[in-house]
């Protein structure tokens, strides 16, 4: 990991739930975690991928006909063993049923793509949010992009899974006022099982970043916790994180209730569906809010964070 030039798998404008104001999201491809509830499954691999959205296919046969490797046995059906990822199929697919996830873009490309939104960022107090995937996999690139944006007066926010080499991303952190730091499973072994990696480094990173903020030498850190029934919503998990946050002097967090709306992406990428996942009920959400509140931690929903209140209070 650490290749200089990332692939971007999406840029999305008019986002209201990933930081203050109106924001554009830049999705970096590649993630060190493999959370089983992940709804952006196309973000995992750093390499480009080809998805097939069967419902858009018009059965024209262009993919079968044009593929130089003859990797398509029938329309939309690609044998990845033969595929050399030349993207002839996605380029020629008329409907977009065959879609490429992950395009290499330069800092300049991204600046130009984002520039039309700048005035809206400025009037709304918004900006750009780096998300993914994991933007910190590309420390040089992401800090260069952030620096360029910052130079034009654009606010940059980061959403991270927390698993990174802190020293390597210091230049990026210098460009940020705020970062969303995802916490998931408190128990190390369980974290390893559900998210594909341990959480010791994540916890240490969170601790260091909060210390830096307290010393005014880093961005403001805002934790977020996905609520996945039977995985992250247990009493011990909530108590564990509440205690951890309290020790750090953090009295707020955002909870992100699980939703299954990325489920169709698994199908597009030919992956089996996940089981045992469901949307938390209102009651479950309320009881988690109460648990945190009892520990002195205020709970927010995405987009509803009163960042100023805590920012100035810190």
Partner 1 sequence: MSSLPHIAPSTNPENLIQSEGFIPPTPRITAIRTELLSTPYSICLERPKLLEEFWRSKKGRQSAKTEHPFVHRALGLQYIFSHRKPRIYDGELIIGNMTSKRIAPNYYIEGGSINILEDITHLGKRTIPLKLTGRETLELLRIGLQNSFKSVGAKAVLRPSRFSYFLDFFRAKRYFVTEEAGIGHQVGNYRMVVQEGLLYPYEEAQQRLTEGKLADGSLLNADQKEFFRSVIVTIDGIRKMAENLADEAGELALQPGVTEKRKVELLESAKACRHVPFEPARTYLEGLQAVWLVHMALNLEDFEQGLSFGRLDQILLPLYRNDIVQGRLTPELATEITASFCLKACETIPLYSERIDKFYSGNGVAQALTLGGTDAEGNDVTNELSGLFLHAYAQVLTREPAVHVRIHPLTPDWFFHKSIELLQLGSSRPSLFGDTAIVRALEEAGMTKAHARDYAVIGCVEMASQGRTYNSSDATLFNLPLCLELALNEGKKFHGKARIEGPRRFGAPTPPVSALKTFDDVMEAFRSQVLHGIDDMVKVISWLEEAYRAIRTTPVNSIMTQGCLDKGKDVTWGGGLYDYTSIQAAGLADAGDSLYILNKVVFEDKRFNLEEFVRILRDNFRGREDLRVELANKYPRYGNGNSAADRMTQLAADAFADALWAHKNTRGGQYVPGFYSMTCHVGFGKVTGALPNGRLNGTRLSNGLAPIDGSERLGPTAVLRSAASLDSKRWMNCYALNMKFDKQVVQGETGRKALVHLFKNYFAQGGMQVQVNVLDTETLKAAKKDPSSYPGIVVRVAGYCAYFNDLQPDVQDEIIERTPHGIG
Residue ranges in contact with partner 1 by CB under 8 A: 10, 12-18, 21-22, 25, 27, 39-40, 55-56, 58, 60, 62, 94-96, 116-117, 119-120, 123-124, 126, 256-257, 259-265, 279, 282, 285, 301-304
Alpha carbons 63 and 19: distance in angstroms, whole number: 40
- Starting at the earlier edge strand, list the strands of the sheet with 103-104: 103-104, 7-15, 23-28, 127-132, 155-160, 178-182, 220-227, 252-257, 298-300
The residues facing 190 across adjacent strands are none
- Partners of 127 in the β-ladder: 23, 155
Residue whose tokens read 């988690």 = 288
Using omega within 30 degrees of 0 as the cis cutoff, is the peptide bond preceding 133 cis? Answer: yes
Tell me the β-bridge partners of 129: 25, 157
Between 187 and 284, CB nearer to partner 1: 284
Q: In whole angstroms, how close is the CB of 14 to partner 1 at the nearest point?
A: 5
Query: Measured from the CB of residue 91, what is the shortest distance to partner 1 in angstroms?
Result: 9
What CA–CA distance (Å, rounded) separates 248 from 122?
A: 32
End-to-end CA distance of the chain: 35
Q: How far is the CB of 266 from partner 1 (least distance, A)?
A: 11
Q: Of 223 and 257, which has the nearer Cβ to partner 1? A: 257
The torsion region of residue 56 among left (phi > 0), alpha (psi -120 to 50) and beta comes to: alpha
Closer CB to partner 1, 107 or 120, in the complex: 120
> Is omega for the bond preceding 26 within 30 degrees of 0, making it cis?
no
E-state strands within 5-115: 7-15, 23-28, 49-52, 72-74, 77-78, 98-101, 103-104
Residue closer to partner 1, measured from CB, 17 or 170: 17
- Please state the closest distance from residue 66 (CB atom) to partner 1, in A: 11
* C-beta of 166 vs 307, nearer to partner 1: 307
Q: Is the Cβ of residue 48 or residue 302 nearer to partner 1 in the bound state?
A: 302
Nearer to partner 1, 96 or 153 (CB): 96
Min separation Cβ 96 and partner 1, Å: 5
User: Least distance (Å) from partner 1 to the CB of residue 260?
Assistant: 6
DSSP string covering 18-38: SSSSSEEEEEES--S---TT-
Identify which of residues 53 and 170 has a Cβ nearer to partner 1 in the complex.
53
Residue with tokens 């996830």: 101
Smallest distance, partner 1 to C-beta of residue 145, A = 19
Residue 120: count of CB within 10 angstroms of its CB: 15
Residue 151 C-beta: closest distance to partner 1, Å: 22
């Amino acid at each position: 990991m650490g290749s200089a030039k990332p692939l971007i798998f999406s840029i999305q404008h008019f986002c209201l739930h990933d930081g203050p104001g109106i924001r554009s999201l830049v999705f970096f491809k590649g993630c060190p975690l493999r959370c089983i509830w992940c709804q952006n499954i196309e973000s995992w691999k750093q390499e480009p991928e080809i998805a097939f959205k069967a419902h858009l296919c018009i059965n024209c046969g262009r993919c079968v006909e044009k593929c130089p490797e003859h990797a398509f046995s029938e329309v939309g059906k690609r044998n990845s063993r033969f595929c050399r990822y030349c993207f002839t199929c996605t380029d020629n697919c008329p409907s977009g049923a065959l879609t490429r996830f992950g395009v290499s873009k330069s800092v300049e490309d991204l600046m130009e793509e984002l520039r039309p939104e700048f005035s809206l960022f400025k009037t709304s107090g918004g900006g750009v949010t780096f998300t993914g995937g994991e933007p910190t996999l590309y420390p040089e690139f992401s800090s260069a992009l952030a620096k360029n944006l910052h130079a034009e007066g654009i606010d940059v926010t980061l959403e991270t899974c927390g698993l990174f080499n802190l020293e390597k991303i210091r230049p990026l952190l210098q460009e940020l006022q705020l970062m969303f730091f995802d916490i998931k499973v408190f128990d190390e072994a369980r974290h390893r099982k559900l998210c594909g990696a341990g959480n010791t480094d994540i916890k240490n990173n969170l601790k260091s970043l909060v210390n830096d903020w307290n010393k005014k030498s880093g961005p403001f850190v805002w934790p977020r916790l996905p609520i996945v029934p039977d995985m992250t919503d247990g009493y011990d998990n909530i108590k564990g994180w509440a205690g951890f946050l309290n020790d750090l002097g953090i009295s707020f967090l955002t909870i992100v209730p699980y939703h299954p709306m990325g489920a169709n992406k698994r199908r597009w990428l030919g992956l089996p569906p996940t089981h045992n996942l469901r949307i938390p009920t209102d009651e479950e959400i309320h009881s988690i809010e109460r648990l945190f509140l009892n520990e002195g931690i205020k709970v927010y929903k995405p987009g509803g964070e009163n960042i100023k209140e805590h920012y100035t209070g810190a």
